[in-house]
Structure 1
Amino acid sequence: MPGGWESEIVTEFRAVLFDMDGVLIDTEPHWKDLWRNEVFPDVADGEPSLEDVTGRSYTDSIPDLHENYTLAKEPQHYVDLVERQADDLYAEAADGAPVVHDLFDVVRDRGLAVGIVSSAPPDWIETVVDRFGLGPLDLCQSAFDAPGPGKPEPDVYEYAAAALGLDPAETIVVEDSTNGVRAAAAAGATVIRFEIGVAADAMDEATAVVHDAAELEAVLIDLLDGVQ
């Protein structure tokens, strides 16, 4: 097993759910630059970190930044900033992850459902699915269309599993951010932590932490095949 990891999972999985940013498309370096260079310098009180924003809906994280750290401008200014960058980022500027995209067929070939669960708005998800030919999908779940709070709370993963007629424990989730991992784990999913081009840190909530797409494929297949 990669990295000496051994599965302790006994559940029969019925779906694999992928986060989008940082997993299917390499947007995180662009977003981190925006937060560090154009948003955080406008903070009046305290020192925000990327964990305050990464993996979360920007419509949640920006008001929270304003409340907790006091931004120089009104939250809508920063919302508009994010949305302007997104137009080019998802359509062209950010690279995809073809090896990860190929895992959709690995999941389909085993007769499992495959879906995307993201904090991004539905139209951004649709752009990525169309651009990289990721369909057909059994589920495209945006946190914008799910009731309850977004990541790191479990609601969006609970809602996504229910939409498939499943318990979250019947799902494997591939997530990159700490907020996303915590959300999926709190819902009861088995979580693989992976981020494009980054050696992600270990987390207690993640069943496995992998450092490249090849290792992700190996761990995912072992889980699906019930390797102990």
Structure 2
Amino acid sequence: MVANRKFSSSLEQFHPVLHWRLMEFIEDYSLGDKPALVWQWRPVDRVEVDVTAPAVHDLMSRGAVSSRVQAWWYGFRSSYGIANVFPGLSSTDPRNAAGWAAEVHTDGHLIAGLWSFPELAVDGAPAPCLSDFHMEAFRDFAELSGAAATVIGSTGASCMTASLLAATSLRIVRSGNHWGHQPRPATRDTMQWRVRTGSNDQLRAIGDAMAADYKRAFAF
């Protein structure tokens, strides 16, 4: 069940497929009211993807090839075995997802989510944290999107966005400086990135722009 969250009305109104896929992801991975950072990409033109193709399986196995991240989201690489899911293919079985997952769907939609965060003790209890190092996840997702476009043969324009859910429940900290100057906390429960559209060779730049939005939002 999808929790009683506050969602972006603009995403639902102007990009209903992205909104619908986000709702499905939240339900399939039992996110409930957990904080989560979710990225989405899809071609503007309609496509049909054979998710049984070896190249699609390889895409999910490799993830963002150049990613330096070996923890938290692992460059969105499959870590527990690729699994079939109703809309397509997942990097992991939703029943065993260890805090993150990525999916590619038969309509070309790509979605990845992260809901396991570092923790700090706050008033004697562990509190999940967002940090400046999470900017790398935006770049990794942009790389994965470009790889997906190549694998599924999408040569036209595509769109990308991200959603930060239950943002106010997360502590915002600088990596390596948890007890120094603190960045700005979230003031919205849901932070919805605007949907950016571009060609395949612009996807890295879109990922960088989204990372810059993230940095600016929290004054890192």
TM-score, normalising length from structure 2? 0.27
What's the TM-score once normalised by structure 1's chain length? 0.27
Query: Which protein has greater RCO, CA pairs closer than 8 Å, 6+ apart?
Result: 1
More helix by share: 1
If each structure's strand is expressed as a fraction of its own residues, which one has the higher value? 2
